[in-house]
Structures are given as structure tokens and as C-alpha cells.
Amino acid sequence: MKTTINCFIPCANAAQVEKTIQELRSSSLVNKIYLLATEAVTTSVSGCEILSVPALNASATMRTIAAYSDAEYTLLYTKYTILELGMFALERMLHIAKDSNAGMVYADHYQVADGTQKNAPVIDYQFGSLRDDFNFGSVLLYKANALKEAVGRIKADYQYAGLYDLRLKLSQKDSLVHINEYLYSEVENDTRKSGEKIFDYVDPKNRGVQIEMEQACTEHLKEIGGYLLPEFKKIEFSEGDFEYEASVIIPVRNRIRTIKDAIRSVLNQKADFKFNLIIIDNHSTDGTTDAIREFSSDERLIHILPERNDLGIGGCWNLGVHHDKCGKFAVQLDSDDVYKDENTLKTMVNAFYEQNCAMVVGTYMMTDFNMNMIAPGIIDHKEWTPENGRNNALRINGLGAPRAFYTPVLREIKVPNTSYGEDYALGLNFSRQYQIGRVYEVVYLCRRWDDNSDASLDIVKMNGHNLYKDRIRTWELQARITMNRHSMQ
């Protein structure tokens, strides 16, 4: 008996789905095509059954798809734009799905924007790929039996997180396999730069979505043994003999346009404790070194010129934190950015004692180079809660800024010697055992300009960053599962 595929595609009207249906029908593998309609579709489409669903990503929609998945495989297309299949694309996806015995396969593809076709590679799915915005592309091919089994374990009735919940359930028993081949083209409507997209998940208008996603992720963590109860190690803040209460750490390389502003924002801080500024000048060649030396008369500034040539941002942090003049608390400031006012350092340090935490994360405001607020404005990460923040941290892609650390713990853990994701790795590691404190008033200005490291990344660099963060999540999730197992013995 020939293997067949039932296809499910979103439908707003007959004209919108016409070309996609033609593409699907060109393959002899396609058995039935169902149209998912969130609103009434008045025009019938020959040979296709219209299924009324509440929302494309709703749990009810996943149940409807499962109920109509009577072929061996199920294809879900997630966009309203035109799908163009490559030559024998479905045959290839089916072949890989069978060979790998995958619960779902997805593929690299092309994106067509403004008439231009561009490569859109995706990344491998890992154990820790818990981001709800993981990019699979728009064509998902499921083994129908695995789909039905996973849907059968869906407990909630989500409006937004149904597809995410399905993916997590599916991954518990089946593999999600990435096909490193360009098998189709999709029309891309979101042409914003990478630096503009990365904050979508903290947009206040998406709060309802985030609540559901957190619930789905938390349930998944409980089911696989990775959930952590809100029980934390207490800190006495008496470890070590520190000359300074706090040190601001600035790693810098070639930031002549911004480093003076950063330095002034630190030296202007008003605090009732002793603090200093440790700058790790990582072989700057544009005049940054001389700019830092202009402040050498201030004894609070420690200017480190590394002997090593293999340091990323994390490695520079390690140099600063292990300096004998580093304070009890190490507080972050990027060389592009500034503290909002003279009270930032005091506010961050006070939070350690008030909330008994080993790490504190503040709230920042996005600005242009001249420090005028730009979209998305204030980033407060209010999705963090003391009760579930350590679990939800495995789902989101960042924790906020500025970040501050209790130095004895940071010295023990150490910072990954990378220039991306090192702060996120620390947040996950710290939260495994310690409470992370939060400051919800704006204390930091994050300047967005052309030389920012993530202002406009190409898709290969974005994939590299996401692959690494998923790797960090995988390691952390494995550690938490192991910790939970040992605590039960």
C-alpha cells in the first residue's frame, strides 16, 4: 500500500490557498487536503474540506488535525502565503522521515521577499530546544501515529500555545529531525532586521501568549523531570574579604564612540559604599585605549590590558572578576551602554540584600545612539516570577540587563569564554540553586546603533547564536534532571 499524506493548510479565502493547493496536488503522495479556517469561508474549494478552528495554534486545532489524520503522514503548513515545493520535496521528506523513524521532519528552505529568493537554513532540534519561537520553517511533516499519540496527551486548552505544546509532547517520545536540504520556498512578510525581531516575546501585547507558553513549558519540564521547585540556597554574603563592595565590569574592544560615556556613567554613581570600575581593554586598535587613559587620574578605575589573545567577552569577565580588587558584587555594563542615572549601582547592590539572591537582573530601555527611546522601549522581563522564573528561563532567550553577580559564586562557576550567550549561561546556572533578584525600574540604557553586535545579523550568524543557546539549555536541563534524580535517592 502506497504511503500517503494528509495536508492541513491555513485558509482565509479561496484565492489565498489556490496556488498552494496546486503545489500539493502535483505530488501523488497527497491523499487529502484540509483547509483550516478561523473565520467563515464563503467560497468552496474543489476537493478540499474546510475545517473550522478557533485559532491556528490552538489546542483545539491540534485535536482537529489529529482527528482527520487518517493517512500515514500529516503535513501542516503554518503560513497564509504561497508555498512552492521543490522537485520531489515531499518524496524526500517522506523518505527521511521513514529512514530516521522521526516523529516529525522539517527542512531548510528558501524565503522570497520583495521578489528576491534567499537561503533560509534552520538548525537541529536539541533536547534543550525549548524556545517557543524555535524556527522549523513553515512545512512540518509528522508521522500520523506519533502526532495522534502526542495530541492524546495534551491536557490544556490553549488559544496560542497548542502547537508548541504538541511539539513538546512529541519530543518526549519521538525525534524531530532537521533535513539539511532546501526543499521548498515560502513568502516572507517579516522583513525587519534581526535586532528588531529578538524582542517580540517581551512585547506587552503578547503577554497572554507568554503566559500560555510558560504553562506549556512548565508542564513539559515536570513530565521529563527537569522542573525545579522554588527552593533556593540562602546566602550570608560573608564569604571572602573584599576591599570594595562592588565593581563594575566593562569588557571593551574598539568602542571609541561610546566608551567615555560608559565610564562617566559609572564614575558618576552615588553610593554609600566603596566601589570601583574594572575595564578589560581587549586589544583595541581604534583609540579606545587612549580614551580610557584619560580617566587614569581617578583611582577607582582599573585598566587591564590582557596578555592573552584568545579572550571573548566571557574571558574578559573572568579576568575582571578574578582581579584582587574586584568587589563583593560584580555589576555588568556593556561598552555601548550607560547607566540610567547615578543611583543604578546602589539600586542593584541593595537588591542582593533585600531579596537574598546570588544574581540580580535589572530593567533597561532601548535607545538610539543619542539615548532617545526607540521601540520596543522598556524591557522589564516581567514574565519572570520568583516562583517559576528558574523554569521559565529555559524557554526565553534572555534575562535582561544590567546583570550583577555575587562574586564568590561567579568565581566558582566562571564565565564561558564566548562573546554571545555567556550571560544567559550564567543566568541558567545561577538559577539552578540560587534565587535571581529582579529590579523592575529602569536602571540601564541599551544603545542600539549600527556597530552593535546583534543589530543586524545574517541568518547564518543568528542560527549559530540560537544553536549555542539551545546547547546551553540542553546542558542545563540535563544537569537539573540529574540533580532531581539524586535528590530523590
Per-residue pLDDT at 452 exceeds 80? no
- 2 pLDDT exceeds 90? no
Confidence at residue 202, expressed as pLDDT on a 0 to 100 scale: 46
460, burial (CB in 10 Å: exposed 0-12, middle 13-18, buried 19+): exposed
Q: What is the pLDDT of residues 422-449, one digit of tens each?
A: 999 999 999 999 999 999 999 999 999 8
Residue-by-residue DSSP string for 173-239: HS-EEEEEEEEEEEE------HHHHTTGGG-GGGHHHHHHHHHHHHHHHHHHT----S------S--
pLDDT > 90 in the chain, percent: 88
Mean pLDDT along residues 314-330: 98
pLDDT band at 196 (very low <50, low <70, confident <90, very high): very low
Mean pLDDT value across residues 309-316: 98
pTM over 0.75: yes
Helices (H), 275-398: 288-293, 313-321, 344-355, 389-392
pLDDT band at 195 (very low <50, low <70, confident <90, very high): very low
User: Tens of pLDDT along 122-147?
Assistant: 999 999 999 999 999 999 999 999 99
How wide is the angle at C-alpha 211 spanned by C-alphas 205 and 213, nearest 5°? 105
- The pLDDT value recorded for residue 75 is 98
Instruction: Say yes or no to pLDDT of 286 above 90.
Output: yes
Write down the pLDDT at residue 453.
52
Q: What is the mean pLDDT of residues 383-395?
A: 94
211-260: per-residue pLDDT in tens? 999 999 999 999 999 999 999 999 999 999 999 999 999 999 999 999 99
Q: What is the mean pLDDT of residues 402-414?
A: 98
Question: Is the per-residue pLDDT at 192 higher than 50?
Answer: no
**Long-range CB contacts (< 8 A, 24+ apart) of 222-228?**
223/172, 224/172, 224/477, 224/481, 225/481, 225/484, 225/485, 226/391, 226/394, 226/477, 226/480, 226/481, 226/484, 227/391, 227/484, 228/390, 228/391, 228/432, 228/480, 228/484
168 to each of 68, 128, 202, 345, 474, how far by Cα in Å?
21, 11, 22, 40, 14
- Tell me 435's DSSP state: P
Confidence of residue 18 (pLDDT cuts 50, 70, 90): very high
Point out the least confidently predicted range of 13-17, 57-61, 223-227, 350-354: 13-17
- What's the confidence (pLDDT) of residue 1? 55
**Structure-model confidence comparison of residues 316 and 205, the more confident one:** 316
- For residue range 30-74, list pLDDT tens digits in order: 999 999 999 888 777 888 999 999 999 999 999 999 999 999 999
Show the cell assigned to 137. 520553517
Residue 474 to residue 469: CA distance in whole angstroms: 9
pLDDT score for 197: 41
Query: From CA 320, how far away is CA 304, in angstroms rounded?
Result: 8
Q: How far is CA 106 from CA 82, 241, 465, in A?
A: 17, 54, 20
Q: What is the mean predicted confidence (pLDDT) over 365-372? A: 95
Instruction: Give yes or no for residue 200 having a pLDDT over 80.
Output: no
Provide the pLDDT confidence category of residue 383 given band limits of 50, 70 and 90. Answer: confident
Exposed, middle or buried, 277 (CB in 10 Å: 0-12/13-18/19+)? buried
pLDDT over 70 at 193, yes or no = no
pLDDT above 50 (res 473): yes
* Confidence band of 314 (pLDDT split at 50, 70, 90): very high
* Mean pLDDT value of segment 106-134: 95
